[in-house]
Structure 1
Amino acid sequence: MSARVLVVDDILINVKLLEAKLSAEYFDVVTALNGLDALAICERGEADIVLLDVMMPGMNGFEVCQRLKSGPNTAHIPVVMVTALDQPSDRLKGLDAGADDFLTKPLDDTALFARVRSLVRLKSVTDELRNRALASRRLGIADPLAAAASETGLNGRILLIEDRPASQERLSTALSAFHVVDVEADPHQALIKAAEGEYEAVLVSLDLQDHDGLRLCSQLRSLERTRDVPVLMLGEADDRARILRGLEIGAHDFLVRPVDRNELLARVRTQVRRKRFTERLRDSVQSSMEMAVMDQLTGLHNRRYLDTRTAVLFDESVLRARSLALLVLDVDRFKTVNDTWGHDAGDEVLREFADRVRACTRGIDLVARMGGEEVVVVLPDTTLEAAHAVAERIRERVEAEPFSIHRNARAISVTVSIGVASRRAGDASPAEMAKRADDALYRAKESGRNRVIVASAA
């Protein structure tokens, strides 16, 4: 797996040594001799992962890491702190600064490469989401990266899979101070619970009795409902080979027994934060997609989606020799509503109008706002007679009850005129069908409004 690795160290010989090792493993290597240069490289998007020395003059590694993890444009970049410091307090300080891992010199090359590959793989999951989320700024959505970077990683929902009672008690007590923790000793039940529980992190003991903990990790990473949940392995110090294997198959992190309470909390918090970061980006992408095809006032599809989807439905109707109908709806005297009661009242009427139309249609029907007070409904597999019945149902539903305006302070009567048409054998495009429905709507307006007119089927 190729990736751009930024090596940051103020000692040139250390930089050159790591550069040579990583290049031999087919990584692209970028280097920096101080924290400011490292920050600039990351801001320009020139690094997929950072190997960061702690002891540097001016700005130490802890500060560099903290700044990277708090910046909207760099929070997603994995940081591995590399140092000669080996005290638990130093490790905790690095993890609290937001580091994804903390490796002690002299480095074990196999462990280093496994960690780099694992973190790069995880980062690749978020990169496409980030790019799409950035595009959502143009649609007026609040900056998704800033919101994601501000996540604390606290109050997570955690599943602990452990069958040692003493370890269960110790780990769950520590985690419960900051998270909601469920404990499960049975691996089979744990897998079911993980799939149903919407957890933000799962801790798996590799030493489960009569069960392979690595296989459980693999299952969690492969099941659709759990593949996005961070998995942390709990292993013994002499179980290095299995831990590295776990990273290769997709586990996100690991802890070595005896587990330090503070390190446990820091690593779980990091994983919860990363999951929420990814979810925020995914939500932003979903919102931007919806904004591209939805009308924000009514929640109906917009004109762009209507044109595209109607063409697809029309082609399918021709190919399968199935019926297709179209309704054009227009709120009667809508300008009078705006002029008399104000545009806010007009918006309230349009929202309620959209809700009533939706209530009279099926899930497979396409309901879209053309603009202003005009709505189009496309009805697949629907004859002209059935479409007329749908239109009458909508007309009656609109007329039946007054529309509330001014936040329920007033109620006004509203009616709708509707034109109906269906696909003819000679139609070359949906535009011809839409034109007939539009002409029928015009006749409904001319005939006194609050009525349905059906275009001739011939």
Structure 2
Amino acid sequence: MEDLIIKMKNELERARSELAILYEISNAMRTTLKLDEVLYIILTGVTAHTGLGFNRALLFLVNEKAGIIEGKMAIGPESVDEANSIWKQIEQEKMDLDDLISAYKFLRDAPERRFNQQVKSLKIPLGEKNGGLLALSVLDGMPLHLTKETITNYRDDQIVQLLKSEELVVVPLKAKDRVNGIILADNFITKKPITKDDIRMLIMLANQAGLAIENSQLYEKTVLMSHTDPLTGLWNHGYFYYLLQEEIEKAKATKKPLSLIMLDIDYFKVYNDTLGHQAGDNILKELALILKNHSRKMDFVCRYGGEEFAIILPETERNEAFLIAERLRQDIEKHPFIHEEILPDKKLTVSVGVASFPENGNLPSDIVASSDKALYQAKSKGKNSVILI
């Protein structure tokens, strides 16, 4: 009888401890709607010593539109030495789950770990035949526990080869009975066996995580719509100023240059008045696509207003910016726009102004004013040209 009471007490204590952990992680997930922060909180909850205690955790999201499962984030050491270094720091600083979650704001700007880079580069087909382990988990919607014996059945799987795990648990994330992601976890360093309780806890966390992720995605979609020009899909006028301010602050902090291109369609009023606003809108959309396709990933392409566009060029000095602007001008001039023959020059062209930080000022208003002035000079000197002020 006494043994039974002790056993019941231990089980109650374990259940209370588990609920406390899940409650803390759940509360942390409710503190933000930013997707990257939610993902980090989930994975930290899975790997923290005061959380579920797995050595490594990976998170993938389902992109139904593209028909793929995308790697989004991974946490965990790649070697015993790295693990010992991390765990020693956590022990010395007496970091609890809240401390580990709060550390994300500092880690965000740190060099990205190779393990995280590898996972983020993965794009796995949703089809069961080509998608392997992850696609199977998405399609079945059921957790998978791969042991030393059963993992050999997946030895050719992309994920299994990357992780080199002897034991692995795969748990789907769900929102409203729809699988929207996958969590994978293992104990690659310690080789600690994954128990039924470990899997049960991970499933309970996954049930909350799926909904938190869906809420974050809906929020980010709403935010994106508020920052996006509905006609062209580019960043809008208001968000342009926010981006420019942010990039100037980064440039100041890193002591790196920044440039701004402002461009305006020549004789756009003639085109609009002759062919109508629908035709004019089509030209704006087509030009926006050209600007996006001919810009670098690091650049921010915005619709400033009307037929005027702006491109923020981080880490770009003035002479390089001029060359980029000139290439854009030439590409636009060569592009065959429909009915462009009605324009005075028989071609649709743009006038471009370029300004830079710090040469033209330290404030967004300074850079915009200088770039706009250069654009006006390009217009007044015959159009279809680039002026660097």
1:334-376, Cα deviation, whole Å (9 max, x unpaired): 2222221121111111111111122332111121111111111
Instruction: Give 1:390's aligned amino acid.
Output: I
Instruction: Give 1:250's aligned amino acid.
Output: I
CA distance in 1, matches of 2:29, 2:339: 44
1:129-177, Cα deviation, whole Å (9 max, x unpaired): 9999xxxxxxxxxxxxxxxxxxxxxxxx9xxxxxxxxxxxxxxxxxxxx
CA distance in 2, matches of 1:343, 1:358: 22
CA contact (8 A) 1:115 1:247 kept: no
CA spacing shift, 1:334–1:195, aligned 2, 3 Å: same
CA distance in 2, matches of 1:360, 1:205: 46
> Does residue 347 in structure 1 map to residue 281 in structure 2?
yes
Give the drift of 1:126: 9.0
The DSSP-based 3-state class of the residue aligned with 1:364 is coil
Instruction: Give 1:336's aligned amino acid.
Output: V
The DSSP-based 3-state class of the residue aligned with 2:302 is strand
Matches within 5 A, 1:383-402: 383-402=317-336
CA contact (8 A) 2:260 2:368 kept: yes
CA spacing shift, 1:426–1:195, aligned 2, 3 Å: same
CA distance in 1, matches of 2:362, 2:272: 38
Task: Name 1:300's counterpart in structure 2.
Answer: 234
Task: Name 1:219's counterpart in structure 2.
Answer: 169
CA contact (8 A) 2:137 2:144 kept: no
> Does residue 250 in structure 1 map to residue 184 in structure 2?
no
Instruction: Give 2:250's aligned amino acid.
Output: E
Task: Name 1:199's counterpart in structure 2.
Answer: 138
> Does residue 328 in structure 1 map to residue 262 in structure 2?
yes
5+ unaligned residues in a row in structure 2: which ranges?
A: 1-11, 36-67, 69-125, 152-164, 174-178, 185-194, 341-345
Instruction: Give 2:299's aligned amino acid.
Output: D
CA contact (8 A) 1:423 1:430 kept: no
Task: Name 2:353's counterpart in structure 1.
Answer: 419
CA spacing shift, 1:321–1:126, aligned 2, 3 Å: closer
Compute the RMSD of aligned alpha carbons: 4.7
1:369-406, Cα deviation, whole Å (9 max, x unpaired): 11111111121222222211111111111111221379
Task: Name 1:443's counterpart in structure 2.
Answer: 377
Task: Name 2:111's counterpart in structure 1.
Answer: none
Give the drift of 1:195: 4.0
> Does residue 312 in structure 1 map to residue 252 in structure 2?
no
Instruction: Give 1:194's aligned amino acid.
Output: L
TM-score norm. by structure 1 comes to 0.45
CA distance in 2, matches of 1:290, 1:122: 27
CA distance in 2, matches of 1:405, 1:275: 52
Instruction: Give 1:381's aligned amino acid.
Output: E
CA contact (8 A) 1:218 1:250 kept: no
CA distance in 2, matches of 1:290, 1:376: 18
Matches within 5 A, 1:229-308: 229=182, 246-250=199-203, 281-308=215-242
5+ unaligned residues in a row in structure 1: which ranges?
A: 1-108, 133-156, 158-179, 184-191, 232-241, 254-270, 407-411
CA contact (8 A) 1:317 1:323 kept: yes
CA distance in 2, matches of 1:454, 1:425: 11
Larger Rg: 1
CA distance in 2, matches of 1:318, 1:402: 40
CA distance in 1, matches of 2:287, 2:272: 15
CA contact (8 A) 1:348 1:404 kept: no
CA contact (8 A) 2:147 2:167 kept: no
Task: Name 1:35's counterpart in structure 2.
Answer: none
CA distance in 2, matches of 1:386, 1:435: 20
Instruction: Give 2:347's aligned amino acid.
Output: S
CA contact (8 A) 2:375 2:387 kept: yes
CA distance in 2, matches of 1:337, 1:119: 61
CA spacing shift, 1:341–1:277, aligned 2, 3 Å: farther
CA distance in 2, matches of 1:210, 1:395: 59
Q: Indicate the percent of aligned positions where both proteins have the same amino acid.
A: 26
Give the drift of 1:318: 2.7
CA contact (8 A) 2:260 2:312 kept: yes
Matches within 5 A, 1:11-50: none
Task: Name 1:359's counterpart in structure 2.
Answer: 293
Larger RCO (CA under 8 A, 6+ residues apart): 2
Task: Name 2:192's counterpart in structure 1.
Answer: none
TM-score norm. by structure 2 comes to 0.52
CA distance in 2, matches of 1:343, 1:425: 39
Task: Name 2:94's counterpart in structure 1.
Answer: none
CA distance in 1, matches of 2:232, 2:23: 42
Matched residue count: 255
CA spacing shift, 1:222–1:307, aligned 2, 3 Å: same
CA spacing shift, 1:129–1:288, aligned 2, 3 Å: farther
CA distance in 2, matches of 1:448, 1:402: 21
Task: Name 1:371's counterpart in structure 2.
Answer: 305
CA spacing shift, 1:318–1:245, aligned 2, 3 Å: closer
Instruction: Give 2:203's aligned amino acid.
Output: G
Give the drift of 1:210: 8.0
Give the drift of 1:295: 1.7
The DSSP-based 3-state class of the residue aligned with 1:396 is helix
CA contact (8 A) 2:134 2:182 kept: no
> Does residue 452 in structure 1 map to residue 349 in structure 2?
no
The DSSP-based 3-state class of the residue aligned with 2:361 is coil
The DSSP-based 3-state class of the residue aligned with 1:427 is coil
